[in-house]
Amino acid sequence: MREPVNRTILLLDIEKFSRRDDVVQAVLRRRLNNLVDQTLEAAGVEPTQQYREDRGDGLIVLLSGDVAKTALLRALLTTAPDLLHEHNLLASDSAQMRLRMVLAAGEVAHDPHARTTGGIVGHDLNQACRLLDADVLRAALAARPHEHAVLAVSAPVYEGIVRHGHRGVRPELFRSAGVPVKDGVLAAWIHQGAGESADPEPGHAPEAGAAPGPVPQASPAEPGAPARESEPERAPEPKPEPEPARSAPVFHFHGAPVVHGSFVAGDQHGVSGGTVHGDVVLGGTEGSQA
């Protein structure tokens, strides 16, 4: 095996390739190679600076370290989508082509064997292939029915190139995405489609739990200023109804009671006042003694 060297890794995969018949697959593979030729040419990549492997429904392209990644990014974001748009305008429904693309960088070794083709190996290449096959990238393309491609970049490409905002590369249009892999989570950044935004929209509502702003205090009225309208007075609460006056007790005497020899005849109603001395005999008869 040869010594590993640093390479720019470009991976491309045709969406829903296996659903096409053999004739359409052959047409799409030829068209994909032509698209890569023109995209790399637009980025200033010479034939001697690239290595390709055909993967049936896609391509692995390795570029030498002296290829400017900024120029390659601009071509992937402009030239490649334009070429796809031209192809899809003329192609039948069965020959429509949409791509998932990954741009990464890392160490890659070449380990060729007799009577076989290919033979490139390396951890960084494996991680890039995992990113190309990730559900989050497939979902991003599926969510853009009117676009022709989706591009993801690895963490080294984002940190070394994208986030610095070189000409034609806008970091605010890339959103981070974590891709679960066997040994952890692979960091990646996906370029936003038309109408998508990686940053919150200006003027968005404050987050829940944020402290409210200061409440303006009323200033005292200046001399001569009209008095503030007072609040309407509350209606007085209804007073409780007075309890009905109790009537004086009624005593019914059977017979004529005698008080100190005095004779009380008939029923007496509400007799009050005065002082009674001695015994009062109730129920007696006329002429009885106390």
Residue 252, pLDDT score: 52
Listing DSSP states for 244-261 in one string gives PPPPPPEE--SS--EETT
Cβ-contact 130, 78 below 8 angstroms: no
Residue 262, pLDDT score: 46
Cβ-contact 91, 102 below 8 angstroms: no
Residue 195, pLDDT score: 59
Per-block average pLDDT, block size 10, for the chain (290 residues)?
92 94 94 96 96 92 95 96 95 94 96 85 94 95 94 96 94 93 90 63 37 43 46 59 56 51 50 53 48
> 60-91 burial by CB neighbour count: b if 16+ within 10 A, else e?
bbbbeeebebebbbbbbbebbbebbeebeeeb
Residue 56, pLDDT score: 84
Residue 249, pLDDT score: 52
Residue 200, pLDDT score: 41
What is the assigned CATH class of domain 5-191?
alpha beta
Strand ranges (DSSP E) for 119-231?
A: 120-121, 149-154, 174-181, 184-191
Tens digit of pLDDT for each residue in 57-82? 899 999 999 999 999 999 999 999 99
Question: CA-CA distance, 148 to 84, in Å (whole number)?
Answer: 6
**Domain limits, the chain:** 5-191, 250-290
**36 backbone dihedrals φ, ψ, rounded to 5°:** -65, -40
Question: CA-CA distance, 241 to 133, in Å (whole number)?
Answer: 86
Strand ranges (DSSP E) for 4-98?
A: 5-14, 50-54, 58-63
Task: Give the closest residue to 91 by CA, choosing from 154, 159, 158, 23.
Answer: 23
Residue 280, pLDDT score: 52
Query: What single-letter amino acid sits at 94?
Result: S
Residue 193, pLDDT score: 72
Residue 227, pLDDT score: 46
Question: CA-CA distance, 51 to 64, in Å (whole number)?
Answer: 9
